[in-house]
Amino acid sequence: MSAPPPGAFDVLVVGAGPIGLATALLLTRAGLAPARIAVCDRKIPAPPAELAALPIDLRVFALSRASEKILRAAGAWDDVADTRAAPYERMHVWHADVPPHGGDALVFDAAEIGERDLGVITENAVLQAALARAARRAGIPLLEAQIDSLSQDRRHAVLRAGDRELRASLVVGADGARSVIRELAGLGARRGDYGQTALVAMVSTARAHEHTAWQRFLGDGTLAFLPLRDGRSSIVWSLPTARAEQLLVAPVEQFERALTADLDGALGAVRLESERVKFPLWRVSAQGYVTARVALVGDAAHVVHPLAGQGANLGFLDAAALADVIADGLRRREDPGAHSLLRTYERWRRSENELMSGAIDVFDRLLARGSGKLAEFAQRGLPWVGKSPLVKRVFIERAMGLAGELPSAAR
Ligand SMILES: Cc1cc2nc3c(=O)[nH]c(=O)nc-3n(C[C@H](O)[C@H](O)[C@H](O)COP(=O)(O)OP(=O)(O)OC[C@H]3O[C@@H](n4cnc5c(N)ncnc54)[C@H](O)[C@@H]3O)c2cc1C
């Protein structure tokens, strides 16, 4: 194929977050030439000399096995795994009404299904830098541009960033929860406020984390401790916003006491090791994922509650699914923005994401914050999941991204 004119691409990905970068990399694997794909972002960070020299990022993700496979296919996994990544082997989940170490706590162990771990904890900045490095290595242009307008004709989508014009057969909106592409393309979204804010910080604990992710449903929210490689843990503490705002500025000792108490002492006394950062929690669900010459992936299409640690994992599956349908289209000599391809992607990923998002909301409403008969029933039922190997396996496989209709890179 001949080189495209300046500013013209087969696919232009808007958003150099983890999902946008992964989409671009997987599209090269689908058969598109790297120079005909571009990723643009309002800010493209300079590549660090060494990933290990990146400052610690408090935004930490639990990545599933499916995401690991997708990152491997994208050529970024080795860098992620080598840079402070922490595999976790177990999940220990319990409700505030039962003791943490009793028989009513639910323990998911990778060994039970013959896996080495359940996934890996990594920092957002490491993930993004590893993917940007892989994109540069592959020869995908990374452009600094803040997109402010979009128009479509029969053959192209045309984006403008100030007086710069960029055109492509397909624009992928990977521009996060407040997606401008979603809005400019007229793809509406249902938004819901959880009324909660997540506090995120790095902590140390008197007892070792034992490579286990600890999660307690509190009655008014959820508290997760994610194990880090250096023995510390990263917390995601989702609380009613008024309480979160108080704890955000509370004196350190008061914060530590409240945190230790909310984990019911499961890891002994907890010490704060970093600043505290807050994330107001919203649910977003795009009413359509595609329109003429535009497709949405990642948080631009769906934002879910962090209690199941699934947001980025769902986004990586979107990226890999879109690459699969475009690869099929290229084999039939279709152009990557052909509407029938985009509709196939939408049908596939929207149903999977709505299923997971619905399940997460049920967990939040009944287990994390619920009161009343139904919630009581669900809370009492939680330990029974652990008593049925079959049900337990279904839960583990869903969380690891090993179930559902998987794109080729995740298999
Ligand atoms: C507290 C918390 C904990 C979480 N924990 C987990 C977890 O354990 N596991 C998990 O899988 N997920 C987790 N998530 C979810 C995860 O953070 C998101 O799903 C993920 O970061 C989304 O990535 P993205 O690439 O879609 O969007 P983003 O990372 O938001 O990237 C969007 C990019 O688009 C760019 N952009 C925006 N507008 C424009 C524009 N107009 N022009 C150009 N560029 C633009 C931005 O600069 C940005 O770089 C958590 C979320 C929260 C809040």
307 Cβ neighbours under 8 A, 6+ residues apart: 215, 222, 224, 238, 360, 363, 364, 368
Q: What percent of the chain has a predicted confidence (pLDDT) above 70?
A: 99
Confidence check: pLDDT of 3 > 60: no
Give residue 4's pLDDT.
58
Q: Which CATH superfamily is domain 8-86+117-191+283-366+404-410 in?
A: FAD/NAD(P)-binding domain (3.50.50.60)
The span from the CA of 101 to the CA of 238, in Å, is 22
Single pTM value for the model:
0.96
Dig out the tokens for 312 from the structure. 């980025």
The binding-site residues of ligand 1, defined as CB within 6 angstroms of any ligand atom, are 14-20, 40-43, 61-62, 146-147, 174-176, 180, 198, 200, 236, 279, 298-299, 306, 309-313, 315
pLDDT digits (tens, 9 = 90+) for 170-179: 999 999 999 9
Which residue's structure tokens are 């290595």?
137
Dig out the tokens for 387 from the structure. 């008593």
Atom of ligand 1 nearest to the CA of 175: 34
User: 84, 30, 97, 20: which is closest to 57 by C-alpha?
Assistant: 84
The span from the CA of 192 to the CA of 280, in Å, is 11
Q: Which residues pair with 270 in a beta bridge?
A: 205
User: 157, 165, 138, 71: which is closest to 342 by C-alpha?
Assistant: 157
314 φ, ψ (degrees, to nearest 5): -65, -40
Confidence check: pLDDT of 374 > 80: no
Cα 312 off chain centre by: 1
Give residue 5's pLDDT.
63
Confidence check: pLDDT of 388 > 90: no
pLDDT digits (tens, 9 = 90+) for 213-256: 999 999 999 999 999 999 999 999 999 999 999 999 999 999 99
Q: What is the DSSP letter of 267?
A: T
Torsion of CA 301, 307, 313, 314, to 10 degrees: -30
Torsion of CA 161, 165, 171, 177, to 10 degrees: 0
pLDDT digits (tens, 9 = 90+) for 259-311: 999 999 999 999 999 999 999 999 999 999 999 999 999 999 999 999 999 99
In the chain, domain spans: 8-86+117-191+283-366+404-410
Give residue 1's pLDDT.
46
CA of 112 to the centre of ligand 1 (A): 32
Residue from 237, 276, 281, 299 to probe ligand 1 pocket by mutation (most atoms less than 8 Å from CB) = 299
Strand segments (E) across 320-377: none
The span from the CA of 104 to the CA of 384, in Å, is 8
Reduced to 3 states, what is the DSSP secondary structure of residue 62?
A: strand
The span from the CA of 171 to the CA of 181, in Å, is 9
Q: How many residues does the chain have?
A: 411
Strands 277-286 and 189-205 turn out to be antiparallel
Q: Mean pLDDT across the chain, nearest whole number?
A: 94
Give residue 147's pLDDT.
96
Average pLDDT over residues 87-109: 93
pLDDT digits (tens, 9 = 90+) for 19-48: 999 999 999 999 999 999 999 999 998 999
Residue from 12, 25, 42, 60 to probe ligand 1 pocket by mutation (most atoms less than 8 Å from CB) = 42
